[in-house]
Amino acid sequence: MTKLYAIYGASGCGRSLMPVARQQLAREQDSSEVVFIDDAFTEIGAINGHRAMNYADFLNESAAVKSVQIAIAHSHVREKIAHRLAQDGITLWSIYADNVVLMDQIEIAEGSALSPFVTITSNIKIGKCFHANLYSYVEHDCIIGDFVTFAPGVKCNGNIHIEDHAYIGAGAVIKQGTPDRPVVIGRGAIVGMGAVVTKSVPAGVTVVGNPARILKSK
Ligand code: UDP
């Protein structure tokens, strides 16, 4: 049975995740092809040694099984593409770098991308299409929703709940909660790079600074 894998998005995120995808396949001793999908392509070309095509051309490929990692940082774009893939019967593909550390009792839903040097410790539940970029970690007893994005170097400490579509910027630190009072990062909230989050963040707001405060629109 022929299999075809793809990294959806050939911009920064996708080109950084392609080597992670190759590591994943090498570990599984799977010699199937992995291509780039990007809707900006008008015809089939090549990027970094991989065939690159738009989604319509990908659908025309003859492989019996197709799996796709959506390597686009914008979470709502990831969700839109995930719906389209589901409608077309294409599975979401999770890719983990070789040196990712995964400890005990971890549940991670489909379509996640764990970049090099990511650590996920114990008793953690994570939703669909999670992106943990370089050197991020998730400590014990965290619950993370769907389409959450961690830029590089995010420090997510213990007992933190992060709701769907939240974006955590590079180098942000989130203070640990307690089992009865987790720190909650609300749905769609944005935590600015380098922010030091000391308390829960409401849905939809942007917080920046140390200690992190809500950024008011001018
Ligand atoms: N893209 C796509 N289909 C879509 C939306 C985006 O193929 O429906 C592609 C877009 O052409 C671009 C990439 O996804 O090449 C997103 O790149 P961007 O630089 O915005 O973000 P990043 O790589 O950081 O996620």
Beta-carbon count within 10 A of 206 CB = 19
In our burial notation (b when 16+ CB lie closer than 10 A, e otherwise), range 51-76 reads: bbbbbebbeeeeeeebbbbbbbbebe
Cα 178 from Cα 107, distance rounded (Å): 20
Cα 99 from Cα 117, distance rounded (Å): 6
Cα 187 from Cα 171, distance rounded (Å): 20
pLDDT the model gives residue 216: 87
Q: How far apart are the CA of 103 and the centre of ligand 1, in A?
A: 32
User: Domains of the chain, with CATH numbers?
Assistant: 3-93 (3.40.50.20), 98-210 (2.160.10.10)
pLDDT the model gives residue 104: 98
Which two structure tokens, joined as six digits, stand for 56?
């319509």
Q: Is residue 52 helix, strand or coil?
A: strand
Cβ–ligand 1 contact at 145 (below 6 Å): no
pLDDT the model gives residue 211: 98
Confidence (pTM): 0.98
Q: Is residue 54 helix, strand or coil?
A: coil
Amino acid at 206: T
Which two structure tokens, joined as six digits, stand for 199?
């308390």
Splitting the chain (218 residues) into consecutive groups of 10 residues, what average pLDDT does each group show? 96 98 98 98 98 98 97 98 98 98 98 98 98 98 99 98 99 98 98 98 98 90
pLDDT the model gives residue 108: 98
pLDDT the model gives residue 75: 98
Cα 55 from Cα 8, distance rounded (Å): 9
Pocket test for ligand 1, best of 38, 42, 80 (most atoms within 8 A of CB): 38
**Options 50, 74, 76, 140, the catalytic residue:** 140
Q: How far apart are the CA of 73 and the centre of ligand 1, in A?
A: 8
pLDDT the model gives residue 1: 80
Angle at 111 between CA 177 and CA 34, to 5 degrees: 140
